[in-house]
Chains A and B, each alone.
Chain A
Amino acid sequence: MHKILHTNLGRALFFTALGFGLFLASNRIDELRVYQGATLAMFVVAISSLILLTGYSGQVSLGHGAIMAIGAYAAALARIHWGLPVWLCFSAAVVVAAFAGAVLGTAAARLSGPYLAGTTLALAVGLPSIANQFHVLGGEQGLLFDIGQPPSWLGADFTSYKWYFWIGSSACLITLWWLQNILRSRYGRTWRAVRGNEVAAQLCGIHAGKSKTLAFSVSSGLAGLAGALLAMTISTVSPSAFPLSLSFTLLTGAVLSGITTLPGVIIGAVTLVATPEIADAISQRMANSESVTTNLPGLLVSALLILVVLFVPNGPVEQMRMFRVKARSHTKN
């Protein structure tokens, strides 16, 4: 299994096979699960963008939700004003968000310290006031993002949820495949070198500031894609779809995935999709008062974030691996 993933062709084949498996599965499960599958794909893309930034380049963004919003607005504007086909809208989301990331990154990411965290947090806090300022963004109501009906050759009983799921999971698989490649490339090694020891990396001729800015820009591009996927599943783009709590949620997902390992990403994404349902179940059984219902998901997510950072800071997957390595070395001795 691991050997297959170590070659380029092997990785491509693996992800294609995974994709076919998912597509076949989507015909067998009910609509709600298909819709949740689309949300899951969105979270996988968003979390892996954060893992790339935090785990592989050692920076942290507290406002990735706002960067997702940038991508979503770009996609919606491209759709409304130019009527671009869907895949071009998604490309526009990636490009615009990556560009915004490059601008922010030039200011904040090249500096060491908490600057990137604070700047992205500021962006997330101010998103509603920015959206209200420009009429083209549609204010509080936001914009419609309608990707249209699924193509007719897919058959008459092919629902839009299924169409969302297909688009979402294709985007997600392409992202994961591409990330596996770039993290094994020169860039991935450079990012890890800067994260490990900035001074030593600079001695090797790496420009630390540029490397960090590039990592932030790439991560922003992926977050933009995730934003467009989120906008697709809810058909609108508005400030309330990208609240501050979305950024918190993504960080929780990333920490749960183990922010230094990409394969754990599915754990984080599944948890994020399941949390609102669990919160719903608890609040229905318990009090069923409004203040509990609205705040329980946030409480669960932030409690989870704190517990994971305190007790398994490298994430459950990495922790398991370390246990196994330890156990193995014990038996050898």
Chain B
Amino acid sequence: MYQFINTVLNGITSGAIFSLMAIALVLVWRSTRVINFAQSGMALLSTYIGFECIQRLHSFWIALPLSMIAGAFFAALVDTFFMRVLFRRTADGPISGVAPIIATLGLLGLIRSSLGMIVGNSDASIRPPVSNVGFTVSGHTLAFSPLKLMTLSMVIALMLGLTLVFQRTNLGLALRASAYAPEIARLAGVRVDAIRTIGWALAGAAGAAAGMLQTPNGNGALAPDSLEFNLLLVFGFIAAVIGGLESLVGAVVGGLVLGLFLAFIQYYVSGSLVFIAAFCILIIVLLLKPKGLLGSKAGRRA
């Protein structure tokens, strides 16, 4: 019974982080029709900035918003000075469909190797801001710790904030409109280009938060060639695909489903099977429900 509760709680926590990454991918996909494979590199960069802030200010709670702002700023820069130019230059031509994907991959390589050059192999790490020893309930120590509770509540707070922005503000309306029908939104006076950049910025912030929260939940170590961030990107992508790539709610549901499923594999089958299980889920979803679990039948073509 305790094992079951442990599994569910841990699954939801890691799923919440996958959801953040999936939200980042979906936000960019909705605004520019590109899956930003550089998201893991951007998250890594923001997490390094967060680490530097912790070194100087000695507070995780100040560093987290700072790193999110840095992530948003960097993503906005990438969109304005790189993606827009790229879209203009490859608008028509045989490789117009694949050029943005290739470019984001190049960006990922660029970020990682420049980070590697700058920070070298100095060992950076982010210590958990609260205890990561599990709660004790009537003599049993759960794997669910204050750290996981903090992670989960941060993610929920961020998602609530994002939902409020999307549902209750004019900016949210403009974001939804330019994702749904850019031409009509433009005719209605929405500055679609600027709104797209804001979409990128929100995604950058979400990715930064995912990186900042994932690092202390893992072993805490940060490295430019870390596998953890690539896995975060891949799991975020799988979560987004489960949710149907189009919807933010889908991304959250996809992340939670994936997190729970992987937790059950990890605790009940074998920890080393996690990646293979995730990959199988991706293949199965693509084969059976290519529009995602929540996707409508008439999903739009990319």
Contact = CB atoms under 8 A, between A and B. Distances in A.
A115 B121 contact: no
Interface in B5-51: 29, 34-35, 37
A167 interface: no
- Among A58, A298, A303, max chain B CB count under 10 A is at A298
Interface string A83-127: 000000000000000000001101110011111011101110110
Contact of B290 (A111, A114, A251): A111
A303 B93 CA distance: 22
Nearest to B291: A111
B105 A305 contact: yes
Interface residues of B, number: 56
A119 B94 contact: no
A38 to B, nearest CB: 25
Interface size class, chain A: 35 or more
Interface string B267-302: 000001111101100110011001000000000011
B150 interface: no
Contacts of B103: 305-306, 309-310
A313 B93 contact: yes
Interface stretch (B57-65, B126-134, B135-143, B226-234): B226-234
B287 A106 contact: yes
Contacts of B121: 290-291
A284 interface: no
Contacts of A259: 94-95, 98
Contacts of A55: 94-95
A203 B69 CA distance: 49
> Interface on chain B toward A: helix, strand, loop, or mixed SS?
helix
Nearest to B85: A310
A125 B237 CA distance: 12
B245 interface: yes
21 contacts: A58-B94, A58-B97, A104-B283, A114-B34, A117-B35, A117-B101, A122-B234, A126-B231, A195-B94, A251-B105, A290-B121, A295-B114, A296-B113, A299-B113, A302-B113, A303-B110, A309-B103, A310-B85, A310-B86, A313-B99, A314-B94
Given A55-B94, A114-B29, A299-B113, 18 more contacts: A107-B283, A114-B101, A126-B275, A126-B279, A130-B276, A248-B108, A259-B95, A291-B116, A295-B113, A298-B109, A298-B116, A302-B110, A306-B82, A306-B110, A309-B99, A313-B90, A313-B95, A314-B93
Interface of B: 29, 34-35, 37, 82, 85-86, 89-90, 93-95, 97-99, 101-103, 105-110, 112-114, 116-117, 119-121, 224, 227, 230-231, 233-234, 237-238, 241, 245, 272-276, 278-279, 282-283, 286-287, 290, 301-302
